[in-house]
């Protein structure tokens, strides 16, 4: 009987547990929705205790269906700052990458390191809450001193899950790359004293950084009883979700790229040297000697969740939204949507950016507004592709596309048309979970190493979606993209003023 590997894909809006065969075939899957805690307009947290309950539920459901498991690995949303006490219990809610409370702290930290440029050179990422959890730590120190006094261990979401599963602590280089406390260019050097000192964190508080494929420990007896897993099952340290997806896609050389769509929308570029750019979220790859530069928009898929939950709750699915959007023409009847619903990361890097529909008139319809959301997310991704071309002097001609957003061929076609890139949906949407599971397979001895030639990879499930050959459509999208490019600069000051009213 073939070995079964489990991948825990711990996201911002959902947690999934997927069981795969050693050949990469999906065997079983369980999913639970994660409630995001937004008690303040600029905050976005997760209740870690509730999160663990959902993980246990999903693990139990899958374990009942698959029997023995050879190894478990994790792919987790990142950065989610997790603070634990001496008993390995969380002292507060986890603070996600969507949380912008620490924006002001970031400026102070940059000044301590000699300014924005010096900070980028030292860290390898810009000083932003979504790429540098150091500012979040400073916020807790200054605003929640009683909470901070209980902190003994600082880590990420994979740290918390590893602690619950095995009783051991760790994180990995792909997540530590977003700490602001080590160098992305040289993560093997570990936590850097000058960065720890600038934040006010002790080295003893930082959890160990271990390879993503290394077994952090085995499933405890208590977890075994709660889930039906076997005690002692190896658990790999795991990796950040997009890095895990890159691993599962076989992204193992420079000048390659792929798209992943979940709550965020990300175009990831693989580099064979750390020629890092502050417009991107930069990290070491799971495979040593490679780096990943993520052009990450914060709420690409999240914009559709917002439409479902806050604007038109009667439209219950992405299929209903695309059916409505199809009633509008390319260009959305002159309506443009700015998808900045939680500030924006690439390429703007403005926590105060906010969403907007622009171009509404008396003849604008709901169909135009919904189509504008599909198109607006693609215009943002186009800005990322253009920035990469300027920086690294190459442009992908084709990309695999993974994540929940690949279920919509309508949306894929819009993106292919606007990007001018051939898009191929992966044969599974759960690439991050597969990447985590493969790391678990290495920890469990099913595979030898992250460079093992026997590792399965995601492949295209169907014919590629080609950019439209219709000149009128292409010209319409090019014109609307130019308009999109001009809207944020025109509105940035007003967005900042509106954001200041929330603070």
d(CA 262, CA 472): 31
pLDDT in tens, 177-231: 999 999 999 988 899 999 999 999 999 999 999 999 999 999 999 999 999 999 9
Q: What is the pLDDT of residue 495?
A: 97
* Residue tagged 């950016």 (tokens): 353
Give the per-residue SS3 of 313-358: CCCCCHHHHHHHHCCCCCCHHHCEEECCECEECCCCCECCCCCEEE
Looking at the chain, the whole-number percentage of residues with pLDDT higher than 90 is 89
pLDDT tens figures, 121-178: 999 999 988 899 999 999 999 999 999 999 999 999 999 999 999 999 999 999 999 9
CATH of domain 4-242: 3.30.420.40
For 27-74, the pLDDT digits (tens) are 999 999 999 999 998 899 999 999 999 999 999 999 999 989 999 999
What is the dihedral sign for C-alpha 254, 275, 376, 316?
Answer: positive
pLDDT at 87: 98
Q: In terms of DSSP H, where are the helices of 296-449? A: 300-306, 318-325, 366-392, 409-419, 431-443
Q: Are 82 and 48 in contact (CB under 8 A)?
A: yes
Average pLDDT of the chain? 95
pTM of the complete model: 0.92
**What distances in angstroms separate CA 76 from CA 80, 175, 328, 393, one per listed residue?**
9, 9, 37, 31
Residues 122 and 472: their CA atoms lie apart, in Å, by 47
State residue 68's pLDDT score: 93
Taking the mean position of all CA atoms in its chain, how far away is CA 216?
22
Q: How high is the pLDDT of residue 52?
A: 99
What pLDDT does residue 501 have?
66
pLDDT at 403: 84
Residue 454 pLDDT grade (very low, low, confident, very high; cuts 50, 70, 90): very high
244-255: pLDDT as tens digits: 999 999 999 999
- Terminal CA-CA length for the chain: 58
Q: Which residues of 268-294 are buried (b: 16+ CB within 10 A; e: fewer)?
A: bbbbeeeebbbbbbbbbbbbeebbbbb
- The answer to whether 87 and 160 have CB atoms below 8 angstroms apart is no
Burial class (CB in 10 A: 0-12, 13-18, 19+), 309: exposed
Q: Output the CA angle 31-33-34, nearest 5 degrees.
A: 125
- What backbone torsions phi and psi does residue 22 show, to the nearest 5 degrees? -65, -15
Query: Which pLDDT does position 429 carry in this prediction?
Result: 80
Neighbouring C-beta atoms of residue 296, cutoff 10 Å = 23
Task: Report the pLDDT value the prediction gives residue 503, as an integer from 0 to 100.
Answer: 54
Of 3-7, 240-244, 261-265, the poorest mean pLDDT is in 261-265
User: Can you count the helices (H) and strands (E) in the chain?
Assistant: 16, 19
> Lowest-pLDDT range, 243-247, 433-437, 455-459?
455-459
- Confidence category of residue 474, pLDDT binned at 50, 70, 90: very high
pLDDT value, residue 256:
95
Percent of the chain's residues with pLDDT above 70: 99
The pLDDT tens digits for 361-401 are 999 999 999 999 999 999 999 999 999 999 999 999 999 99
In a 13 Å sphere around the CA of 145, the CA atoms on its Cβ side amount to 1
Domain range list for the chain: 4-242
Q: What is the mean pLDDT of residues 322-336?
A: 98
Task: Give 460's pLDDT tier (boundaries 50, 70, 90).
Answer: confident
Give the whole-angstrom CA distance, residue 273 versus residue 501: 43
Give CA separation, 48 vs 96, 161, 164, 293, in Å: 11, 9, 11, 28
Residue range 247-287, pLDDT digits in tens: 999 999 999 999 999 888 999 999 999 999 999 999 999 99
């Amino acid at each position: 009987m073939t070995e079964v590997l489990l991948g825990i894909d711990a996201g911002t809006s959902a947690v999934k547990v997927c069981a795969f065969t050693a050949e990469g075939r999906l065997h079983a899957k369980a999913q639970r929705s994660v409630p995001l805690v937004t008690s303040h307009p600029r905050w976005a947290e997760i209740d870690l205790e509730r999160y663990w309950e959902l993980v246990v539920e999903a693990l139990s459901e899958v374990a009942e269906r698959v029997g023995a498991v050879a190894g478990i690995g994790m792919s987790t949303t990142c950065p989610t700052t997790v603070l634990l006490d001496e008993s390995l219990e969380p002292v507060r809610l986890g603070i996600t990458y969507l949380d912008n409370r620490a924006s002001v702290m970031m400026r102070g930290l940059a000044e301590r390191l000699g300014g924005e440029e010096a900070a980028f050179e030292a860290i390898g990422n810009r000083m932003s809450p979504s790429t540098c959890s150091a500012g979040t730590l400073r916020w807790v120190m200054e605003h929640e001193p009683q909470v901070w006094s209980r902190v003994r261990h600082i880590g990420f979401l994979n740290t918390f899950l590893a602690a619950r599963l095995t009783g051991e602590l760790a994180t990995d280089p792909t997540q530590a790359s977003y700490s602001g406390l080590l160098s992305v260019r040289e993560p093997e050097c570990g936590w850097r004293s000058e960065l720890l000192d600038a934040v006010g964190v002790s080295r003893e508080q930082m959890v160990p950084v271990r390879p993503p494929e290394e077994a952090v420990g085995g499933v405890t007896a208590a977890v075994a009883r709660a889930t039906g897993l076997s005690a002692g099952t190896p658990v790999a340290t795991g990796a950040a979700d997009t890095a895990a997806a890159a691993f599962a896609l076989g992204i193992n050389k420079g000048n390659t790229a792929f798209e992943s769509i979940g709550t965020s929308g990300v175009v990831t570029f693989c580099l064979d040297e750390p020629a890092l750019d502050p417009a991107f979220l930069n990290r070491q790859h799971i495979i040593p000697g490679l780096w990943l530069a993520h052009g990450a928009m914060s709420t690409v898929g999240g914009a559709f969740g917002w439409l479902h939950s806050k604007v038109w709750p009667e439209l219950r699915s992405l299929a209903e939204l695309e059916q409505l959007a199809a009633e509008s023409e390319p260009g959305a009847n002159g309506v443009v949507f700015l998808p900045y619903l939680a500030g924006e990361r690439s390429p703007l890097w403005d926590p105060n950016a906010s969403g907007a529909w622009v171009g509404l008139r008396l003849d604008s319809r709901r169909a135009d507004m919904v189509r504008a959301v599909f198109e607006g997310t693609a215009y943002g991704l186009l800005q990322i592709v253009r920035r990469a071309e300027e920086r690294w002097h190459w442009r992908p001609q084709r990309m695999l596309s993974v994540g929940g957003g690949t279920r919509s061929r309508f949306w894929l076609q819009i993106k292919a048309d606007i990007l001018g890139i051939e898009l191929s949906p992966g044969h599974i949407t759960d690439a991050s979970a597969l990447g985590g599971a493969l790391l678990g397979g290495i920890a469990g001895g099913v595979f030898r190493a992250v460079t093992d030639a026997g590792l399965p990879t995601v492949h295209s499930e169907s014919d590629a979606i080609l950019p439209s050959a219709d000149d009128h459509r292409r010209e319409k999208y090019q014109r609307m993209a130019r308009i999109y490019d001009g809207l944020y600069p025109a509105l940035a000051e007003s967005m900042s003023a509106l954001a200041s009213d929330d603070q």
